[in-house]
Amino acid sequence: MSDSWISPEARLGKDVRTGWGVVVHPGVTVGEGSRIGDHCVLGLPPAEGRAEPLEIGPGSVIRSHNVLYGGSRFGPGLEVGHHALLRHGIVAGANLRVGSYSDIEPEAAIGDYCRFHGYVHVGRGSRIGHFVWLYSLVTLTNDPLPPSHLTRPPVLEDGVVVCVGATVMPGALLRKGAFVAAGSVADGEIPAGAVVRGNPGTVASHVSLLVHPESGLRHPWTEHFADAYPAEARERIARLGAEIAASRRVLKL
Amino acid sequence: MSDSWISPEARLGKDVRTGWGVVVHPGVTVGEGSRIGDHCVLGLPPAEGRAEPLEIGPGSVIRSHNVLYGGSRFGPGLEVGHHALLRHGIVAGANLRVGSYSDIEPEAAIGDYCRFHGYVHVGRGSRIGHFVWLYSLVTLTNDPLPPSHLTRPPVLEDGVVVCVGATVMPGALLRKGAFVAAGSVADGEIPAGAVVRGNPGTVASHVSLLVHPESGLRHPWTEHFADAYPAEARERIARLGAEIAASRRVLKL
Amino acid sequence: MSDSWISPEARLGKDVRTGWGVVVHPGVTVGEGSRIGDHCVLGLPPAEGRAEPLEIGPGSVIRSHNVLYGGSRFGPGLEVGHHALLRHGIVAGANLRVGSYSDIEPEAAIGDYCRFHGYVHVGRGSRIGHFVWLYSLVTLTNDPLPPSHLTRPPVLEDGVVVCVGATVMPGALLRKGAFVAAGSVADGEIPAGAVVRGNPGTVASHVSLLVHPESGLRHPWTEHFADAYPAEARERIARLGAEIAASRRVLKL
């Protein structure tokens, strides 16, 4: 059960499994133990014909109907849903998860352990730290006067959370652990740990004040959700949580 | 004209037609007279390797590039656009229509004759009644303190209409025939027949007050749009319409 | 490297290249020098079995996983991203660019040199002029009383710009060079060159007042962005820019 086209110039590690209808172009390296789903296309564009290397770390799971261009590099444990598009010039750290229908545009830089849900659009050149969450339909824009040749990609520091349907405007700078509420628009510099609400968004509170009354759970999530990450990430998560919690003292509301 | 991989352990009913590049894993049952479009993948995940049954009712039309996991059950007359994703543990009634790019997450329960347009995201565990409409880009969320292990999927009763780009918040309970306006956010309990507008959404009126001045048509849609459904559904639609209309007397505005 | 199904009743021009897993149904014409990416499906639906002609102009680039129905006609230089859906009855001019995950519904009429980014939904019967920009997640709706049999597709005149996440309501008429801000909702008639903001959207200013302070660049974009178009379009762009600039004198704010 395999009818695929794998270039002899691609390098698939030990125990890599590929599905049906998979196309792997020259210059692609897939780390050992990875799985490539049906109807995926790996490698080639932009300058079709010339093969830019695509590196996918070991232990990755690329589900069906995904497109990953040549010219990008993903750390170990990459997980991609279905129908996603990861273009060229992306550099991503360990254990990135990209949801179905998400589109990461060229030259994005992404840290370790980031989690993107579905329909996420990461605009060209975005800079994203570690442990960042982007929920469904989040858009990171980059043109401050559309359409123009100007490009001002946003910067999202470690531990930022952007909720469903929110938009991050060109040139925005979201400091550590900033939280953008559902459907809101974040622009300019957002202080560490700040909660942004509304369109245009304004700083409404600090994340440590976000509480779920029924359960008593509160932000930052680093206290009660670290177990959702691999064990080797936990110490970094604890440090990040302490920094975000500490930012409350300096946030002027 | 058919180059596909159909498992010998799948059961395709009489007169089922499959397109090009179709992958059908073990444990899949497709009812008679159905059509499966090009590049679809049916069955398997989540626990790849073990084949959970996927049941697709007779007379279904699954267009191209769709992914349906094993472990779900769809009634007769399922219709799916292109590039959709229907994951495991879904139980859906008769004649569900799912638009292109829509993503139904695991364990959703869906009644009869529902209509979802494109880019609809139904979060894990959502409970959806009969004759529900979800328009483009509607998102049903379920985590009240993202990210967390908490999960509070919303409940949408019969005849609910959620318009373009609206968001249904975790734990929301939309009573019969509630109507969420375009781009609005519905949270908490929404009374039967109520119209919700804004972010955060508030109850603005009753659906029976939604009128199209030019044509004189008004809500509930059950009066002027029942002919868009199969004949056997009409009596249920009439009963539902009467209930929604009656809710006007009890709605406090 | 080609495992595809090309109907003998399709006509592929000189130097047309097709990828892997491409399905081309009868009645499809692809102009010379075009490129069709992996896993695309061209032609057929709606009345599957009867082949409506699909015409794709010369020099087109259709990337992977796209679906184009029969019964549509696209001018030269069409460019389509990945995972897009272009249904039947569409008539589009020269050099249309359609981003990934975009869905153009039946009977849309589209002028020359339009640019649509990703996740754009163009509702059935929309009428779109020349040099129109639709950014990510823009939705053009058409049912004024959803759900109903009423249909009032919007009209977007030349040079209209609709920013990220904005919604155009049924029956809206956007005059030349109107600009809809990110996340806004445009309804009714919008005067030439007007900037619309908010939900519900109101006219906030004239595009010529949109300035990027850092660079000094301002709208209309026709002054500083004409070089992003083929040389033969530049004279038309200059004329359009003059008209939009002139509309400032007649806009009442």
> Minimal Cα distance from C64: which residue of B?
B65
Q: What is the pLDDT of residue B252?
A: 84
Angstroms from C223 CA to nearest CA on chain B: 34
Contact between B219 and C41 using a beta-carbon 8 Å cutoff: no
Cβ-contact B41, C39 below 8 angstroms: no
C3 touches chain A (CB under 8 A): yes
3 state SS for B127-166: EECCCCEECCCCEECCCCCCCCCCCCCCEECCCCEECCCC
CA distance C168 to C187: 6
Q: Which of C134, C185, C190 is nearest to C164 (CA)?
A: C134
Q: In the prediction, which pLDDT does C47 show?
A: 66
What pLDDT score was predicted for residue C1?
41
Residues with pLDDT less than 50, chain C: 1
Residues 6+ apart with CB under 8 A from A78: A56, A57, A60, A61, A62, A92, A95, A96, A97, A98
Q: Left, alpha or beta for A97 (phi > 0: left; psi -120 to 50: alpha)?
A: beta
Element (H, E) at A116: strand A115-116
* Interatomic CA distance for residues A131 and C196, integer angstroms: 36
C-alpha distance from B201 to closest chain C C-alpha (Å): 12
**pLDDT score at C71:** 96
Q: Is C164 on the interface with A (CB under 8 A)?
A: yes
Query: Is the pLDDT reported for residue A89 higher than 50?
Result: yes
Which tens digit of pLDDT belongs to each residue from B81-107? 999 999 999 999 999 999 999 999 999
Percent of chain A with pLDDT over 70: 98
What's the residue count for chain A? 253
Q: Are C198 and C184 in contact (CB under 8 A)?
A: yes
* A 115-144: CB under 8 A from B: 115, 118-119, 133, 135-137
- CA–CA separation, C150 and C239 (whole Å): 37
Mean pLDDT of chain A: 95
Query: What's the gap in Å between the CA of C21 and the closest CA on chain A?
Result: 7
Residues in B closer than 8 angstroms to A137, CB to CB, are 121, 137, 139
Local confidence pLDDT in tens for the 253 residues of chain B: 458 899 999 999 999 999 999 999 999 999 999 999 999 999 987 766 677 999 999 999 999 999 999 999 999 999 999 999 999 999 999 999 999 999 999 999 999 999 999 999 999 999 999 999 999 999 999 999 999 999 999 999 999 999 999 999 999 999 999 999 999 999 999 999 999 999 899 999 999 999 999 999 999 999 999 999 999 999 999 999 999 999 999 998 7
Determine contact: B5 vs chain A, CB below 8 A.
Answer: yes
pLDDT band at A49 (very low <50, low <70, confident <90, very high): low
Among B103, B145, B165, beta carbon nearest to A118? B103
Counting every residue written for chain B, the total comes to 253
Task: Please report, to the nearest 10 degrees, the dihedral formed by the alpha carbons of residues B195, B155, B148, B91 taken in order.
Answer: -140
State whether B137 and C141 contact (CB < 8 Å).
no
pLDDT at A44: 83
pLDDT for B210 equals: 96
DSSP secondary structure letter of residue A218: B
Residue of C56, C72, C145 lying closest to C108 (CA atoms): C72
Say whether A245 sits in a helix, a strand or coil. Answer: helix
Residue among B62, B13, A38 at smallest CA distance from C45: B62
CA of B187 to nearest chain C CA: how many angstroms apart?
18
> Which residue is it, tokens 């059908």?
B24
DSSP per residue over chain B, as a string?
----EE-TTSEE-TT-EE-TT-EE-TTEEE-TT-EE-TT-EES--SSTTS---EEE-TT-EE-TT-EE-SS-EE-TT-EE-SS-EE-TT-EE-TT-EE-TT-EEPTT-EE-SS-EE-TT-EE-TT-EE-SS-EE-TT-EE---SSSSSS-----EE-TT-EE-TT-EE-TT-EE-TT-EE-TT-EE-SEE-TTEEEETTTTEEEEEGGG-B-TTT--BS-TTTTSGGGS-GGGHHHHHHHHHHHHHGGGG---
CB-CB under 8 Å, A82 with B144:
no
pLDDT for position C176: 98
Distances in Å between the alpha carbon of B133 and those of A218, B158, B169, C10, C109?
Answer: 34, 9, 17, 39, 27
CA distances from B219 to B63, B155, B194, C170 (A): 32, 22, 11, 17
- Inform me whether the C-beta atom of residue B33 falls under 8 Å from chain A C-beta atoms: no
In this complex, is the C-beta atom of C39 within 8 Å of any C-beta atom belonging to chain A?
yes
Q: What are phi and psi of C190, to 5 degrees?
A: -110, 125
Residue A1 has pLDDT above 50, yes or no: no
> Structure pTM?
0.97
Rounded to a whole number, what is the distance in Å from the CA of A126 to chain B's nearest CA? Answer: 22
Q: Is residue C22 a contact partner of residue B64, using CB atoms and an 8 Å limit?
A: no
* C-beta atoms of C217 and A148 within 8 A: yes
What count of Cα atoms within 13 Å lies in the side-chain half-sphere of residue A153?
A: 17
Task: Walk across the sheet containing A133-134 and list its strands.
Answer: A17-18, A35-36, A61-62, A79-80, A97-98, A115-116, A133-134, A161-162, A179-180, A194-197, A202-206
Evaluate whether C99 touches A99 at the Cβ level (below 8 Å).
no
Cα distance between residue B118 and residue B84, in whole Å: 9
Residue with the two structure tokens 């442990």: A131
Q: Residue type at A118?
A: G
